Amino acid sequence: MKPPRAWYVLHTRSRFENVVHEGLTKKSLEAFLPKIQVPSRRRDRVAMIRVPLFPGYLFVKSAQDASEYFKILKTTGVVRFIGNRKGPLPVPDQAMESLIIMVSGTDAITTGKQFKKGDKVIVVNGPLTGVTGFFARYRGKGRVIVTIEALGQYAGVDVNEADVEILPEILS
């Protein structure tokens, strides 16, 4: 019996969301890349462009059998599945349904990051890429302190603010 199909989150290389989405689709896999419209300054005007809602992430529906798992991971631009030591974590169906409805609507979706103490974050660039932790505080000059738990202890790491993103609740 095949395991049930569920939605999973993929972390992609920076700015590779469209490449990964196209690659998964060509492999006949169901993928979802939520996009929103944002203003983009041009020399002579402001244009509306569609950008990923979660930069560096997209969703793929999979049964997580070995062949499909490796087919997904071998797709150009895929870094890894989001999960824990036990493996990729499925996204609840209700959360996916809400997300699909939200991005298909015409209402403006506000985004941005203003970290709050305790926010679950992930490092997306630099030597600590892929590390998850909790936002502790702003340090100034574009730096933030992220606490990481290991072996029951907490350690604070000084990271460039631009290299840290809030881990969306859907992924936490």
Domain boundaries, the chain: 6-104, 120-166
Given a cut of 60, whether residue 157 has pLDDT beyond it is yes
Cβ pair 90, 82 in contact under 8 A: no
Q: How many angstroms separate the CA atoms of 53 and 109, rounded? A: 9
- What per-residue confidence (pLDDT) applies to 20? 97
Which single residue is written with the structure tokens 């609840």?
92
Radius of gyration of the chain (CA): 17
- What per-residue confidence (pLDDT) applies to 111? 58
Q: What is the mean pLDDT of the chain?
A: 86
- What per-residue confidence (pLDDT) applies to 90? 92
Tokens of 52: 């990923």
pLDDT in tens, 18-39: 999 999 999 999 999 998 887 7
Cβ pair 18, 69 in contact under 8 A: no
pLDDT in tens, 101-138: 888 876 666 555 678 888 888 888 888 888 888 989 88
Q: How many angstroms separate the CA atoms of 102 and 107, rounded? A: 8
Same fold, 6-104 and 120-166: no
Domain 6-104: assigned CATH number: 3.30.70.940
Tokens of 28: 């006949």
Cβ pair 13, 77 in contact under 8 A: yes
Given a cut of 70, whether residue 144 has pLDDT beyond it is yes
At position 139, the amino acid (one-letter code) is R
- Choose from 71-80, 92-101, 121-130, 132-141 the range with maximum mean pLDDT: 71-80
pTM for this model (two decimals)? 0.64
Topology of domain 120-166, per CATH? Answer: SH3 type barrels. (2.30.30)
- What per-residue confidence (pLDDT) applies to 109? 67
Given a cut of 90, whether residue 164 has pLDDT beyond it is no
